[in-house]
Structure 1
């Protein structure tokens, strides 16, 4: 492949990241980023502007480009292909009751049999029901429903041809069947009351077209699928991603069905599936705690790393932004079990780390119960930089966890897909994983810490979606 270059774009919740890499080696040539507004709904034009600010609309020297983005976020177009209202982001909880209604109306088996998930607040199928009930005038004008990577890819191609998507993002809508490989129009009509136009689902190695500058544009994919591409995961590999939010996912050969609704099965950007548990509260828990203590996140990490392992009995429930999984519509975090010895910056920092780590470990256990024991666990995202969080996850799960070199994994995954589209072969790029092992003393306290967090309410569903199954 010589020195040919490809580009990957990740339009995430917080920012647009662009990487340009050598298609043969995966070596980073250039990177740039532009921030997004921190809101729960946003006009898609802001993402288009951020793509321009980061240089992703005209990349010199690249031969191909692929886009990944936040999944579930819902964009509504009218018959003139104009955006009708701000896109409702994946982390907006307004459609939680709507998702529970859909499950109650059709029964969980109907949903598990086709999309492989139970609708919750994130899924477009729930957002469409919410729109139908709360904004009927807007709902009446909806002609087409897209996700961010669909809309950005279509925009790069001039917004003239039929919009396209891939199997990973289609599977995140709640109205696309992994088993059938096609849209489930009956579910869409049941939710919204009528049919709408949906993007064409392209194979993961297919081009969506070429830009006006001659840049080959790949099919793109959802951000979770892109991260698995970047890590070159094999079947049985579990990926823990701790960014703004936190996800625990595993690559499997086919759908994994969870009747509790905790695990969604989405398609990957190859030919398999990615059962996943997605949580709203990730590294922001640590950032918010650091702000409360008047210190930097780096300082918080150092305090937590040297604190007594159990945080003196202090227990933090990390639901500062509500929670999608387990469902909590209200923003109800808690700090419990305080004593005078525990009321120090070190112990509070440690309690925040343990609260987040216990939530992630609980999700990893839940996923393992339905998808099988992981072959290998990989940790990525900004939270992976926290030594205290990384070691807490290792100790609380009792497992070796591998970290990859720090980089924008979703954007690199999109770039790897772009190289696949350009050359016809999915390239092998070096990864350089580093293993982290449980500490010798963790057996004496980790079980008690996890038990204390469960007793305090960690993992206990609350809110309208709790009884949906």
Structure 2
């Protein structure tokens, strides 16, 4: 009997990857990848082109029975009534909307604002400080407080700076939503279509709980959009904003659509079904078969510590975002804008490659002779310091050596992730096992120091495309109709051990302030 194939698509910040997979075993069958343009503001058509190229590299999707798309979270895709993209998508790492995040927080912290009373969030148990009270109201409403990364702040930025664009918004969606919609055969109407009579099939847009929970206007506990908060960001009344299409939110194993047979499933009876997809962090969790008590630390463009939780997380300090996962649970996570590129910066500064950085770092003692890197090169999300820059502290004529500087860069990267781990743990998330993944996990220096900085053994799954694997696993789940996703093996390359060095993290905490 011939095997059934599914595909997992990962439309990440840097590229699109397509993994054609055996639905029964999770075995890789074919793979393709195509790069995205650099920058924090990107035309979504580049993602479509990259997807087509990656699918072709993977041998096409004609024989694929189901697929799902995992995508970079938060990216704002605005469509007009004809399905045309209104402006380049603002990605998660675009920080221009930081002032809008502050304004949205201030708005909900103002007890005298009549719009606040209309939201019905109340003041019981909240801070007397207006800023913290505003953050707490956002957390109570949607599980997260606005930072520049979240979609709601980007919508507010467009409303303030590009009102002509905001006035033409017919739909707001996310990168994975938009790509799934295109794979289903939808898209902008042709230029010769009658403007007055024609409207794109925007109602066919769909998403999942995990990605929707990163918008800032979706309550994953109640599974409803908070259109009142979206209206607040747009500066409109709720009735006026009600006509904007938001993707319907599917359950974990729901079917979103059937793919255009010219794109996928043309040789499969009944065609290729499209699963709900999900945000990249939730998809990686699914790809790693994570359960309650597991925490993944992913070192990619960003750094993310994510824990699977059976209950929603409400962090009233607004440091941890209370996202949903792809299985019906929750995925409280803390995210740094600065991830593995911290090591890239260290290599560039010292004129070495990754192996050279590791060799230098190994020559220094824990604590880098007293030097600490605070690695906020591109601003930072955790802690929320969008305008920050990186800094080396504690340098003297005696300790300023290449070895100490190299070690400070690696320790700074890992200490920033320890910050995230401690925040998630502080919400009561059980931490029995830490898994280290992402491109940064390939670094010999990171592997050598991770257990010491994180304070516990670290499992190192074999390097693989876990977002694409998670998307493929979801597709197989949807196809099966079973109550649980298929059990696919996750190969662990090594368990990293080392003596804990709590003094390094303590030094870092003192200096980051």
Does TM-score exceed 0.5, indicating one fold? yes
What is the CA distance between 1:260 and its match in structure 2? 1.0
Aligned 8 A contact 2:437 2:461 in 1: yes
Q: Distance in 2 between matches of 1:331 and 1:221?
A: 30
What is the CA distance between 1:99 and its match in structure 2? 1.3
Aligned 8 A contact 2:457 2:498 in 1: no
Q: Distance in 2 between matches of 1:42 and 1:331?
A: 24
| Residue 230 (structure 2) pairs with residue 188 (structure 1) | yes
Q: Distance in 1 between matches of 2:428 and 2:313?
A: 6
Aligned 8 A contact 1:398 1:438 in 2: no
What is the CA distance between 1:321 and its match in structure 2? 0.9
| Residue 476 (structure 2) pairs with residue 419 (structure 1) | yes
| Residue 409 (structure 2) pairs with residue 352 (structure 1) | yes
Counterpart position of 2:135:
108
In structure 2, the residue corresponding to 1:16 is in which secondary structure?
strand
What does the per-residue CA deviation read over 1:168-226, in whole Å, with 9 as the maximum and x for residues that have no partner? 11111111111211111111111212412101111221221122223221111110110
Q: Aligned Cα RMSD in Å?
A: 1.7
Q: Distance in 1 between matches of 2:469 and 2:339?
A: 21
Q: Distance in 2 between matches of 1:41 and 1:125?
A: 16
Residue of 90, 97, 100 corresponding to 2:99: 97
| Residue 495 (structure 2) pairs with residue 436 (structure 1) | yes
In structure 2, list runs of 5 or more residues that go unmatched.
109-133, 187-200, 262-270
Counterpart position of 1:380:
437
What is the CA distance between 1:262 and its match in structure 2? 0.5
The within-5 A match list for 1:144-293 is 144-159=171-186, 160=201, 162-192=204-234, 193=236, 194-195=240-241, 196-213=244-261, 214-293=271-350
Counterpart position of 1:143:
170
Aligned 8 A contact 1:112 1:257 in 2: yes
Aligned 8 A contact 2:296 2:436 in 1: yes
Counterpart position of 2:267:
none
In structure 2, the residue corresponding to 1:201 is in which secondary structure?
strand
Aligned 8 A contact 1:12 1:69 in 2: yes
Counterpart position of 1:14:
14
In the superposition, the TM-score normalised over structure 2's length comes to: 0.85
Counterpart position of 2:508:
453
Aligned 8 A contact 2:362 2:445 in 1: yes
Counterpart position of 2:27:
27
Bigger CA drift: 367-376 or 260-269? Answer: 367-376
The within-5 A match list for 1:399-410 is 399-410=456-467
Aligned 8 A contact 2:43 2:88 in 1: yes
What is the CA distance between 1:328 and its match in structure 2? 1.9
What is the CA distance between 1:61 and its match in structure 2? 2.8
Q: Distance in 2 between matches of 1:60 and 1:79?
A: 31
- Structure ID, larger Rg: 2
Counterpart position of 1:304:
361
What does the per-residue CA deviation read over 1:248-288, in whole Å, with 9 as the maximum and x for residues that have no partner? 11111121111111100111111110001011000001012
In structure 1, list runs of 5 or more residues that go unmatched.
461-469
In the superposition, the TM-score normalised over structure 1's length comes to: 0.93
Bigger CA drift: 18-27 or 404-413? Answer: 18-27
What does the per-residue CA deviation read over 1:118-139, in whole Å, with 9 as the maximum and x for residues that have no partner? 1111111111111111111111
Counterpart position of 1:463:
none
Q: Distance in 1 between matches of 2:221 and 2:320?
A: 16
Q: Distance in 2 between matches of 1:264 and 1:434?
A: 30
Q: Distance in 2 between matches of 1:438 and 1:19?
A: 32
Residue of 124, 134, 151 corresponding to 2:151: 124
In structure 1, the residue corresponding to 2:142 is in which secondary structure?
coil
Aligned 8 A contact 1:114 1:179 in 2: no
Bigger CA drift: 108-117 or 62-71? Answer: 108-117
Counterpart position of 2:123:
none
| Residue 75 (structure 2) pairs with residue 73 (structure 1) | yes
Q: Distance in 2 between matches of 1:341 and 1:410?
A: 45
What does the per-residue CA deviation read over 1:119-171, in whole Å, with 9 as the maximum and x for residues that have no partner? 11111111111111111111111110000000000001111461111111111
Q: Distance in 1 between matches of 2:494 and 2:315?
A: 30
Residue of 127, 133, 139 corresponding to 2:160: 133
Q: Distance in 2 between matches of 1:131 and 1:328?
A: 21
In structure 1, the residue corresponding to 2:256 is in which secondary structure?
strand
What is the CA distance between 1:346 and its match in structure 2? 2.2
Counterpart position of 2:87:
85
Q: Distance in 2 between matches of 1:208 and 1:285?
A: 38
